[in-house]
Amino acid sequence: MEKPLAIEKESFEIIKEALKKEHSALELPIVQRVIHATGDFEFEYLLKFQQDAITQGIRAIRASKAIFTDVRMVEIGIDKRLLRHFGINTYCHIADNDIVEESSKSGLTRAELSVAKALNRPKDAIGIVAIGNAPTALLKLLELIETNPHITPTLIVGVPVGFVKASESKELLYNSSLPYITCLGTKGGSPVAVSIINALLKLAVL
């Protein structure tokens, strides 16, 4: 029986052989890991990287800056061993009592309220924001950054999935000057966000 690491290594080699585009040394591990998690080679074309995004993400990880996620599924999927290695805390406020209560009163989604709460921290705590599920979270993030110059995440991993506002929110991110990793269109999701973060963590070890 093949061991899990051997299976993963073989899978990554198969993916690398099947890729059609040229990818930089930093982009390739991310593309491979996303395709490995989704089984979808279209991500080779859908994934988009702002010029310095990967370097910025690695820098944030090595500086032990926190990672904020829109949903628990993303937070849970991040490699805990590597988080401990770098001394990184993760935060997700989607199920906090105050967020649930405010959402029921205001009509705003828990996702957008939780992003606002996560970013209401000291500047030096803002590291990577990983949004894998909720387009409203990404839209709120972009709104907050536009109206509050002091909000400066080191990297935005914005890959929400769906048919309502997902494509639009990612298009806005793609057309911004912010440090981002995104994927265009309706595809995306928590497994994509997790794959990107875990690839960055592994790159930071090198």
Residues with catalytic roles: 36
C-alpha distances in angstroms, 40 versus 34, 128, 164?
8, 25, 21
Euclidean distance between the first and final Cα of the chain, in Å?
29
The SS3 assignment for 189 reads: coil
Instruction: Encode 57-76 in three state secondary structure.
Output: HHHHHHCCCCEEECCHHHHH
Distance CA 160, CA 192 (A): 9
Distance CA 156, CA 52 (A): 12
> Which letter does DSSP use for residue 123 in this model?
G
